[in-house]
Every structure is written in C-alpha cells, then in structure tokens.
Amino acid sequence: MVSPKFSRRTFLKASGAVTAGVAAAAAMPEKFLSWAEEAGQKDMKQIPTFCELCFWNCGLIAKVENNKVVKVDGNPLSLRGRGRLCGRGNAALGALYDPDRLKSPLINTGKRGEPVWKQASWDEALSLIALKMKGIKEKHGPESMALIYHGTGAAFWKHLLHAYGSTLAAAPSFAQCRGPRDIGFVLTFGSDVGSPEYYDFSKSRYIVLLGSHLGENAHNSQVQDIVKGYSGGAKLTVVDPRLSNIASKADRWLPIKPATDLALLLAWIRIVIEEELYDKEYVEKYATGLAELRSAVQQYTPEWAEAETSIASDVIVKVARELGEFAPNVCIGAGRYSTWYGDDTQRSRAIAILNALLGTWGREGGYFFPTGATVPEYPGLPAYPEHVEVAKLDEAYPFALLQTTTSIKQATISGQPRPVKAWFVYGSNLMKTMPDKQETIKAIQNLDLMVAIDTMPMDIINYADVVLPECTYLERYDNINVGKFKGEAEIALRQPTIEPLWESKPSWWITKELGNKLGLTEYFPWKDGEEYVARRCEAGEIDFAQLKRDGVIIKKGGAPYITAENQPEFATPSGKIELYSKQLAEKGFDPVPKYTRHPTPPAGHFRLLFGRAPLHTFSRTSNNFMLTDLQKENCLWVNAKKGKELGLKNGEYVSLVNQAGVIASGRIKVKLTERLRDDAIYMNHGFGVHAKGMSRANGQGIADDDLITKPAIDPLMGGTAMRGNFVKIVKGA
C-alpha cells in the first residue's frame, strides 16, 4: 500500500523489490513427492492452490479422490506457510462442505434487515443488478457506486467497478485494521511494513510486541518466525493487558493499562535518546528531526509513564537499556490490527521512531527489505473510462492514503460531499466488521442497490437486495497472488480442486456475466479463469505449467539488509527517516507523537478488549463444522479475583451492556482467568453471529461488535477506534 504522492519507482526501491532477472526456485522437493500416492489412495490427485480462510493465503495441496477433496496439506514451496497450515487452514473441508453454504442467487423481496428470499437464476439476479446499476449511473453518476471488499477475488470486482466508471473501493482491512500502522510507518520511513510483514523475527536478538497476540493471531509464517526467534535465544518482551499465548513465552510480560501504549513508547524513546542508546551513525545518516524529537519527549519520564501505564519505571528503564544493548538486531513489532484508540497512527509513528532510533530498519533481526515480484495485467485490456473528477470522500482525513470505509459510510448516510447509492459488498461481513452497527444499517437503508457476494448466509446478506453465491477458494480460479519476502518473492496460483458445488460461481465468471449485461464485454475478454491466469503468466514470462504443478513460483533476489551497496531510499518528502514530520505539522497534526490520556472505565464498567481465537477467523469460520467442533462460542474473560468479587462463576452465562446503554444480543459464558487485568474484559471477535442460515454459528456467544459504538476516528487517516467502549456485566442471562 503506498501513497500516490510517492512515485511507484522510489517506493519499489525503498522496499527492496526487484522485478527483473531473477531465477525461479526449484520444484517440489523430493521429501514431499511421496504425497503422490498413499495407502489405498492411488488415484488421489494432488492439486496445489492457496488458502483463503484468512488473508495470509498460505499455499496448500488439496488431495482429491473421485471428485471430492478428502484432505488438505501444506504446500512446502509456499513462503507464507512453508508446508504448514494453521489450525484454520487445516479445516478447509469444513468450509467447502458446509451444508449451510449459499447455494443459489437470492433476491430479497422483503425489506433490508427483514429479508424475504426468492431463489433466482443467475441470469435473473444479474439482469436485475445490471438494470439498477444503469439507472444509478444515469441519475447519480458511476462514482456513486461503491465496492467494499476483502479477499483475493475482489480484484475482479474492482475491475468491474473501474470499467463501470467508479473508483470508490475500500477494504475494511484499512480503516478497521492495518491503516494506522501502515500510515505511521509511511510517514516515518516512506514505506509501510507490508503484509506479510517485513518483521525479521527469526533473526532478532530482542523482540518487543505491543498487542500482537501471535499464536492466537495465527498468521502462519510469522508465528513460525517468532517462535524460531525466541526459542533461538532472542529476548522477548510482550506488552499486553492480557497474558496472550505469546506473552506466556516472553521473558517479560508487561500487563499494561489499556490505551496507554503511547506513554510507554514515548518514555522508551526518551530514555533511548537521553542515555544515548540510539544508533548515532544510522540516525545521523538516514534520519532527520532528532533535535525536535528530543525536546518534544522531555516530559515523558519513566516515573510519569509508570503513573500512566501502571508498569514499574525501573522495568521501563531496563527494557529500554536492553533495546539499546541488542540494537540493531531488535524488532519492535508494529503489530497488524491497529485501529485501537483513535490516536493509533501516532502510536504507530512512535513505534516507527523507536525502531528508527535503534536502527532496526533494514537491519538483521529488525525490519528487512522485502523482495517483490510483479505479474502484468491481462494483455490488451481497453483503458478504463475517463475518470470524471468528483469530490474526494476522504477530504477530512489527509493521510487516508487508501479509501476508507468510514467516509463511504458517512457519505452514504449524509449524501455529503456527494451521494453514494449502491454498495457491492464482497467477502466482508460488514455488520460485524464495521463499528456502530446502527449507523451501518442507516447507511444501507439509504441505498438504491445493495449487493452481497459471499459464500455463507452471514449477517451481511440480510441487508442485501441481491445475494450472489461465490464458490469457495477450493473451487475456483482467482487473481494471481504475489507475496514479498526476505530475499525472495512468491507468485501463487489459486486453481479449482473440484467443480463448484450447487449453483455457486467464481468471481471471474460472475463479473464477466455482469459485465456483459452492462455492455462492458470488451473489459472481459478472457474465455475462463484459467485462460485469464495463463495469459497473464505468459505476458510476465512465468511458466504457467510449473505454476499449475507447484502452486507457487519463487523469485529469488534482492538484498534484505542495508549494506554499502544496498543503501535504503526513503519515500518521504525529505527523502530521510522523519523523526519529526513536517507534513504532519503542515496539516496541523503533532509532528512528534504527543500523549493525551484516554478516558478510563466508569465505576462498575470494564474496558472491552477483543482479539483472535486461534481456531477462527472473525465470523468467516464461525460456521465451519471442523472448527465449531472445537470452539463453537466465545467466552468472556474476566480477571478471576475481580470476577469472584462480582460473584461470577466459571461457565455461567451473562449478558453485556455498554456505557451508552447498548445491550449485546445473546449471552456469553464467563471464563475466570488469571491472564487478564481487572480493569478490562476480553473476548474473541467473530462470534455472536445473527443469521438464521448459519445453523452452527447463529446466536453462539456475544459479538464484541454489538457493543462497539461511537468509535473515535483517527483524524489522520479515518481509522475507527474499536477499544474505546466500556461494558457492564449483567448477571443471569
């Protein structure tokens, strides 16, 4: 993700990407060839593809016997998985063979929110959509159609959107997830930290995590790397109000008071500067603004930080000194999910600054420079229609380098600065994904057209006029996936392992058909998914046959670390690492992060915290029978001592209400634990699905998203802060 403000070239250089003259890696190693035939399964086909149960997209190999996928295994060539699948990825068959899947297009003949479904043929459903789209284009212009997307198949929908004449596309993975982190780093280094992230954990000698509950956050290769790191001797400090899985492995667990991380970071920055623990040469050479930074952080003494964070000042100092001792082979992780409290971009800035001071950017064990690769677009596509200038929705957020869902929602409700009349929601269960459910509903009620493209009858489809059933990732060709890694890049293919079940169809097909009905046929020249992928490979001199056989092709090359020959470039206005950010000052923001205290829970309330369950991906897997067999509901983590005071018993069901009086529907099981502070409660996100069609998930546990209202918005980039709510536990549910 990179700002249009920076030229693509410099960015690629900055992130160490190489595009030409690199050798493909060896084919499937001998050790996995035995997969080819197994006991009693001689006629079993091995089809490589990649996982979509989360967005890490690990390579997998599907074992197919008489047209059924019977097993999945990791693809050893995949850099994202390295032959391993996580707890969810191994449950592929629970997604593929879920009897609750969307089976045919549905047309809502009732109201949005109270749907009455009519099964429809693809032709009927797509004709209806096309008709409405034409009307909207005439009345409000193409830009009034928005796409909200998440997942690999979205590429085809963006293509359709652009061909139709709109550029209004947003992913919740920006304004509800990684946005603040990425912007904080772009403002500092001129580059984000990528996805998969450029953390060099496996080589670190000292690792600091703030949040980042790896192990529960099961992002495959990253989990492998951090385990390799700490078990290989790296010191590990984890800052988390909760003893996360990774915190339990740490040399130091700092159970910080929620919402005070910035104070801790600023205190660390101060110590690192005052005690001259920073990498003078590096800072001298690559960074600007040390003086301004130094003076700005004077106020943040360890003692002050102790008062804010509840972490003993001597521990704060110790960690800072250890950082200095092990620098530059230190990685202060920037995490991933970062829309926490509204000042998140500044927190991310502080993390970036601390890393910069310690010279970890482009250093072994810190942040490596990734190797990139590119696959050209389908050759000979006509140019998209001339883009008519329209009011930018994100004006309010000068550093929203990607379109935010936030402002699409606001514009849809207010019609300001311009109307948004149609939503296509691809692979996003928006009802749970965006905070302020009622606002989301209000927006949707303002639409002329609401289309959901999904695999499951999730919450979101209840608000759609038309529901289009996509086949799962195991049944389709899809966009080619490129991943940047250390010294190598991977090009990965998704290919069908069996025919789509029921009436479900892949995105390449749906968009092509819809394109035809919209008179956009020329934009969809491909015969089918395979031809689409093959032609792109051909154009990029990528051996498609090999890609089909191995699933991934590895491109090696590119130096991960700073050397005399491999000097970094920083795509910032100054071309240097910006400890002090002039562009922030110009836009009226703090050029150096400033700490402002966040409100604390009123009496009888707890701060609502949430995170990942190792065996689930948001609501995405909430109905996956292999996973519900292990965890079907979330539970409410309550500090054991506090819980006993409140007379709570393990396993009893309670209900929850937030500070604004919003009651979460359903009930949740109490888990008394020693792993959590007593001023917060914690739950897994993704549960508390409210969708009848989801027979296993419907009404299981409570949805954190039910309780997240009136979120603070990050003024820099429009991220929605989702940990600002306080909830009360109501006994007897």
Does residue 88 interact with ligand SF4 by CB under 6 A?
Answer: yes
Point out which span in 272-280, 336-344, 541-549, 645-653 binds ligand MGD (CB under 6 A): 336-344
**Type of residue numbered 483:** G
Q: How far is the CB of 434 from ligand SF4 (least distance, A)?
A: 22
Q: Which one, 339 or 628, has the nearer CB to Mo ion?
A: 339
CA 173 from centre of chain: 4
Between the alpha carbon of residue 91 and those of residues 65, 622, 689, the distances in Å are 17, 12, 20
Q: How far is the CB of 220 from ligand SF4 (least distance, A)?
A: 4
Q: Which two tokens stand for residue 258?
A: 């929620």
Distance of alpha carbon 328 from alpha carbon 359, whole angstroms: 5
Does residue 473 interact with ligand MGD by CB under 6 A?
Answer: yes
Supply the DSSP string of 433-463, one letter for each residue.
Answer: HSS-HHHHHHHHHT-SEEEEEESS--GGGGG
Of ligand SF4, another protein, Mo ion, none, which one does residue 177 interact with (CB within 5 to 8 Å by kind)?
Mo ion
Does residue 177 interact with Mo ion by CB under 5 A?
Answer: yes
Instruction: List beta partners, residue 578.
Output: 288
Does residue 455 interact with ligand MGD by CB under 6 A?
Answer: yes
DSSP H/E element including 236 = strand 235-239
Point out which span in 180-188, 221-229, 265-273, 418-426 binds another protein (CB under 8 A): 221-229
CB 511 within 8 A of CB 157: yes
Of another protein, Mo ion, ligand MGD, none, which one does residue 39 interact with (CB within 5 to 8 Å by kind)?
another protein
Distance of alpha carbon 698 from alpha carbon 688, whole angstroms: 7
Does residue 91 interact with ligand SF4 by CB under 6 A?
Answer: no
Say which residue the tokens 């692979």 belong to. Answer: 427
Residue closest to ligand SF4 when measured from CB atoms: 89
Point out which span in 82-90, 153-161, 633-641, 714-722 binds ligand SF4 (CB under 6 A): 82-90
Strand order in the sheet with 117-119: 117-119, 106-108, 466-469, 449-454, 422-426, 145-149, 169-170
By CB under 8 A, name the one of 57, 220, 410, 659 that touches another protein. 220
Q: β-pairing, 287-288 with 169-170?
A: unpaired
CB 243 within 8 A of CB 255: yes
Q: How far is the CB of 513 from ligand MGD (least distance, A)?
A: 15
Q: Which one, 555 or 677, has the nearer CB to ligand MGD?
A: 677
Query: What is the footprint of ligand SF4 within residues 34-63 (CB under 6 A)?
Result: 51, 53-54, 56-58
By CB under 8 A, name the one of 175, 246, 323, 401 that touches another protein. 246
CB 358 within 8 A of CB 278: yes
User: CA angle 20-26-32, nearest 5°?
Assistant: 145
Instruction: List beta partners, residue 214.
Output: 217
E strands, 535-667, are 552-556, 577-578, 606-611, 635-639, 653-658
Distance of alpha carbon 447 from alpha carbon 403, whole angstroms: 19
Query: What is the footprint of another protein within residues 667-726 (CB under 8 A)?
Result: 673-678
CB 718 within 8 A of CB 175: yes
E strands, 5-101, are 45-50, 59-65, 68-74
By CB under 8 A, name the one of 38, 395, 586, 645 that touches another protein. 38
CB 8 within 8 A of CB 363: no
Does residue 74 interact with another protein by CB under 8 A?
Answer: yes
Instruction: List beta partners, residue 579.
Output: none
Does residue 554 interact with ligand MGD by CB under 6 A?
Answer: no
Point out which span in 238-246, 440-448, 469-477, 534-542 binds another protein (CB under 8 A): 238-246
The count of chain residues that interact with another protein, using the rule CB under 8 A, is 73
Q: How far is the CB of 305 from another protein (least distance, A)?
A: 17
Query: What is the footprint of another protein within residues 143-202 (CB under 8 A)?
Result: 202
Does residue 195 interact with ligand SF4 by CB under 6 A?
Answer: no
Q: Which one, 144 or 217, has the nearer CB to Mo ion?
A: 217
| Interface positions with Mo ion (CB under 5 A) | 177
| Interface positions with ligand SF4 (CB under 6 A) | 51, 53-54, 56-58, 81, 85-86, 88-89, 218-220
| Interface positions with ligand MGD (CB under 6 A) | 52, 54-55, 150-151, 153, 172-173, 176-177, 210-213, 217-219, 239-242, 244, 256, 258-259, 261, 335-337, 340, 426-429, 432-433, 453-456, 458, 460, 470, 472-473, 609-612, 614, 616-620, 682, 685-686, 704-705, 708, 722-723
